[in-house]
Chain A
Amino acid sequence: MCTMLSVNDLTFSFSKDHLLLDHISFTLQKGTITLLTGANGAGKSVLLKIIKGLMAETGGTIAIEGRCMNRKERMRHIGLVFQEASTQIVARTVEKDIRFGMENMGIGEAEQQRRLSHLVTLLGLTGKLDQNPITLSGGEARKLAIAGVLAMEPDILIMDEPFANLDWPSVKEVISTLLTLKAQGTTILLVSHEVEKILAHVDEAMLLKNGTIATDGKPDQKMLELFRNNDIFLPHSCTVEDLTWLKP
């Protein structure tokens, strides 16, 4: 397994006297799902935006497959699905929204069509191509946001709170989609505080606390206790195995 993303000594601050992200370092392995969690205001969304290139880091480096990249380069290699899927949808039809990123990348029509067909089948959006995205349900809108990002074939897919505002069937659909993508070799970084919904399916988990990574590694009982002690909700006295109840 090779390293896909490497974040080294990353810092970020809004003011001179307080570092929101304090010398953060971690790696993501190719074809894995990693969960990043932390309390509200821990800086999770800022970290995602910096990795994607939407915000500039104060210090440190970000490398993809061993090559350090600036913000502009990272934009092409990393796909980010926003917390509110509806804010990410920019076109007036489902088809145009999926094509939007590809057109901006200058991808040819034949290749666009190939990716479009593949994604609508993969994400179950067949029959909705002509629909206006505002008429989609929450789960469908999330799928469209994922499709729009995946169409650009990023090396890494980042999702900010993928389960926010979703009902139960939609949560299961998103988990199912994530597992399918993982099986196809996509590297995924999830940011969520709804740990109980996804922990059993991730390969690695990290806790962001006071601007630093407080713990990282394969989820185990010790990590669960640490999460509980840091105000991350988990059902009382459950194990990682217990959480596999959420099978899509």
Chain B
Amino acid sequence: MAQTMIFQYRKQDTLLGRSNPLTKLAIIIASCIPLLHASLSYSLFILGTLLAISLVLRIPFSRFASQMFFFFVIALLIALTETGGWRASLAATLRFLDFILLSLVFADTTDPDDLARCLGPVLDVIPFINGYAIASTIELTLAMIPMVFEVSGQVTDAQSARLSPKRHPVRYLYLLTSGIFSNLLTTSDKFADALDARLFDPGRKQKGLGFHGADAILLGAGTLAIGLGWIW
């Protein structure tokens, strides 16, 4: 059995799982605006809410530990480099964690294929662009994120197993990145063959998904959370 990958969709019968991807995307985009300049307390509130949602969704954080390490390093860098006192530093770190958790919840509950189906007809309204092709590009990009983590994990394990010289950080980083890049190209090539072999056409018109009661509940809750951000 393969290792569970971060940013990977898991089909679950939950409110978020049943909601239309467009509703979730709209809430994410709208929530980014107040989150960008959110206060410490609001960032903490959002983090708590998202953690509660993650618990309900049973996102397997323990299995993501090694894959999350990268984000913890970035969070630490943000905390150390942010000027303006400990409150500003903590708020900036929490904001970053909010964004990561928001993406995790979105990826866990949204099939990239469903997102493409819903985005295609919306984007296709814009003149001079093929909305379906752009939606397919977004779908493939999202589908490739777990692949990047998987390949990175494999290369890191392979190099650690052969005692890659960590005491020479530049050489270690060079070996690591070149290994990841080369493996990623090979994997992408196979992925492209798999899509071709099954007649994948990025510009193919697809029927979007409908909206349900779950979307109304989510929209209400999302609007409330975003509204609080403006007031807070």
Q: Is A75 in contact with B143, judged by CB distance below 8 angstroms?
A: no
Cβ-defined partner of B112 (8 Å) among A75, A86, A92, A148: A92
Interface flag for B200 (CB, 8 Å): yes
In the complex, B198 has a CB within 8 A of chain A: yes
Contact in complex: A91, B113 (CB < 8 Å): yes
Q: Do residues B199 and A76 form an inter-chain contact, with CB atoms below 8 A?
A: yes
Interface stretch, picked from B4-12, B95-103, B126-134, B157-165, is B4-12
Task: Tell yes or no: A52 within 8 A of B by CB.
Answer: yes
Number of A-B contacts (CB under 8 A): 77
Considering only CB atoms, which chain A residue lies closest to B195 in the complex?
A: A90
User: Which residues from chain A contact B187 at a C-beta distance below 8 Å?
Assistant: 87
* Beta-carbon nearest neighbor of B12 in chain A: A130
Given contacts A92-B112, A132-B9, contact A75 B199 (CB under 8 A): yes
Residues of A within 8 A of B197 (CB): 52, 54, 75, 79-80, 82, 88, 149
Interface residues of A in 122-154 (CB under 8 A from B): 130-132, 134-137, 148-149, 152
Report B178-196 residues with CB < 8 Å from chain A CB: 187, 190-191, 193-196
CA distance A86 to B190 in the complex (A): 10
Question: How many chain A residues touch the partner (CB < 8 A)?
Answer: 33
Q: Does B56 contact A (CB under 8 A)?
A: no
B111 an interface residue at 8 Å Cβ cutoff?
Answer: yes
Contact bitstring B107-131, A, C-beta under 8 A = 1, else 0: 0000111000000000000000000
Tell me, yes or no, whether B2 is within 8 Å of chain A by CB. yes
B145 to chain A, nearest CB (A): 12
A25 CB–B CB distance under 8 Å: no
Residues of chain B within 8 A (CB-CB) of A135 are: 1-2, 4
The yes or no answer to A201 lying at the interface (CB within 8 A) is no
Q: How far is the CA of A198 from the CA of B84 in the complex (A)?
A: 70
Q: Which A residues touch B87, using CB under 8 A?
A: none
**Given known contacts A87-B191, A137-B1, is B198 in contact with A132 (CB within 8 Å)?**
no
CB of B171 closer than 8 Å to a CB of A: no
Q: Which of B2, B5, B10, B204 contacts A104 (CB 8 A)?
A: B204
Question: Nearest-CB distance from A158 to chain B (Å)?
Answer: 10
Question: Lowest 9 A-B CB distances belong to which pairs?
Answer: A101-B198, A87-B190, A104-B199, A134-B2, A92-B9, A88-B194, A130-B11, A92-B111, A93-B11
A residues with CB within 8 A of B: 49, 52, 54, 75-76, 79-80, 82, 84, 86-93, 96, 100-101, 103-105, 130-132, 134-137, 148-149, 152
Q: List 13 A-B contacts (CB under 8 A).
A: A82-B197, A87-B193, A90-B191, A90-B194, A92-B8, A92-B11, A96-B113, A100-B198, A101-B199, A132-B9, A134-B3, A135-B2, A148-B198
* Known A54-B193, A132-B10, A152-B198; 5 more pairs at CB < 8 Å: A54-B196, A79-B197, A88-B194, A89-B194, A92-B9
